[in-house]
Amino acid sequence: MSLIEAHALLWPPAETPSNLCHGPVALKLNVLTAIQRFPNINGMGSTKRIPSLRQLHAFHTVARLSSVTQAAVELHLSQSAVSIQIGELEARVGAPLVTRTGRGVRLTEAGQILQGYADQMLNLWTEASDEMASFVGQFSGVLRVGAVTTAEFWLPRLLVTFVNENPRVKIKLRVGKRDEIVSGLAAKEFDIAVTGQPPKDLAVSAFGFAKNPVGFLAAPGHPLMSQPNLTMAALADARLLVREPGSGTRTTVERLFREAGLRLRIGSELSSNESIKQMCAAGFGPAYLSLHTCVLEIKAGLLAILPIPNNPFEREWFVVRLASRLVPQVAAAFEHFLRIKGQSEILKQIPALRRPVLRKKLDHTENSRRACL
C-alpha cells in the first residue's frame, strides 16, 4: 500500500452520491483483494478479520527466533498464549503461516510473505508511537544505530551522553563490518549509521562530523621504527597486519598501496582491531589502524606511529542515512547531536591522542628539514 493510499484510507473524502462507489470501503476492498497470494484472503475485508498488532508481534517474534518457546520467553507470555495468537492470525489470513520441525518452527510460503509486511507494519507503528510521544512533549523512542567496528571504541560514550540529555530514549546499537552496516542501512534495520566512508552504491545523505586519524603503527622496538627515510615501499616488504575483506580499514589500505603502485603483502588477516593491536605490540609486524582504537597503547608506549610522510592520514567520521527516507525524530536528534558535538565529545574521551600524533608529526617534519640542509 502506498502512502497516498494509506492517507486516503485513514482520511477519506466525504461521501457524496458522486463518489459513494469510491469511498473508504471500496478502497479498502481494492487494497486487500489486490493481494492474490492467499487464496482465502478475501475474507480479510471484514473489520472483524483484520489482524491485531499483538498477533502480528507474536508472529514476527516467532518468525525471527524460529521458536515458539523462545518467543514466549521474550514476549513474557506462555507458549500456549503465543500459539493461540499464531492460530488466530492464520485463521484471519486464511493460510497456515508456520510448520513445526524437530527443533522449532519454520515459515511456510505464506508466512514468509507475511513476515516482510509484519516487519514494516510494526516498525511503522513504533515510529508513529515515538513521533506522537514527541509531539505531546515526551521526547522518547528507540534510537537504532549501526556502526563500523572501529567506532565502538568511542561511540558508546557519545550514546551515553545523548541518553543522559534525553532520559526517555532507548538505544539499539549494531556493530559490524562496513559491508554489513551498509547492507543493514539499505534494509532499514537501523535508521542511521556511523562509518568512516559513505557508501558509493547506495543513495544516502552523509555528513562528516569528526576527524578520524588513521595510520601505520608498529611496536617501538620494531626495525622499521629506526629505519631512515622510511617510505611506503618499505612497508610493502613487511608483514602487514590487516583487517578482513569488507572492513573499512582494509579497503583504505588496499587503495593506498594501489595508488602508490605497490603490492600489498599481508602478514596476517584478522577480524578484530584488538587482535591486530596485540600482535602489532608483540612485534609481529606493522599495522594500519584508526588511532581512535589504540590511544591507550600509544600512551603506554606499546605502539608507536611509524615515521612515514603524512602518517597518520586524516580521514573523517560520517553519519549516514538513506536519502529517500524520513528518519524518526529521535534519530534526527542524534544526527544533529553528532554534527554539533561529535568532534568535541570524541576529543574529551581521547585527549592523550593529540600530543603523540602532534609530536610524531613535528619530529618527522624536523628530521625532513635537517635532511635538506
Does 27 map to a domain?
no
Which pLDDT does position 371 carry in this prediction? 35
| 77 and 58, same domain (yes or no) | yes
| 273 and 311, same domain (yes or no) | yes
Which pLDDT does position 206 carry in this prediction? 94
For cell 487494497, what's the residue?
31
Which pLDDT does position 135 carry in this prediction? 59
Burial class (CB in 10 A: 0-12, 13-18, 19+), 58: buried
| 148 and 73, same domain (yes or no) | no
| 333 and 306, same domain (yes or no) | no
Does 101 map to a domain?
yes
Query: How many domains does the chain contain in total?
Result: 3
| 61 and 155, same domain (yes or no) | no
| 47 and 191, same domain (yes or no) | no
CB-based contact 236:266 (threshold 8 Å)? no
| 274 and 305, same domain (yes or no) | yes
CB-based contact 183:294 (threshold 8 Å)? no
| 269 and 368, same domain (yes or no) | yes
The strand pairing partners of 241, in sequence order, are: 268, 287
Does 160 map to a domain?
yes
Tell me the CATH number at 73: 1.10.10.10
Does 97 map to a domain?
yes
- Crossing angle of helices 68-75 and 53-65, rounded to 10°: 130
| 368 and 285, same domain (yes or no) | yes
* Rounded average pLDDT per 10-residue block, the chain, 373 residues: 41 39 39 39 52 84 88 88 88 87 85 85 74 62 91 93 90 92 91 91 92 92 89 85 84 87 84 90 91 89 91 91 88 93 86 47 37 34
Q: Which residue, among 92, 96, 93, has the nearest Cα to 108 in the 3D structure? A: 96
| 89 and 233, same domain (yes or no) | no
**What's the CA gap between 243 and 252, in Å, rounded?**
11
Which pLDDT does position 48 carry in this prediction? 52
Tell me the CATH number at 226: 3.40.190.290
**What's CA 123's distance to the chain center, in Å?**
16
Domain residues for the domain of 197 are 141-210+317-349
**What's the CA gap between 139 and 330, in Å, rounded?**
8
- Other residues' Cβ atoms within 10 Å of the Cβ of residue 8: 18
Which pLDDT does position 22 carry in this prediction? 42
Which pLDDT does position 11 carry in this prediction? 38
| 251 and 366, same domain (yes or no) | yes
For cell 557508501, what's the residue?
199
Does 9 map to a domain?
no
Q: What angle do CA 137, 193, 254 make, to 5 degrees?
A: 165
Does 233 map to a domain?
yes
**What DSSP state is assigned to residue 95?**
S
Which domain-ending residue is among 67, 93, 124?
124
| 263 and 363, same domain (yes or no) | yes
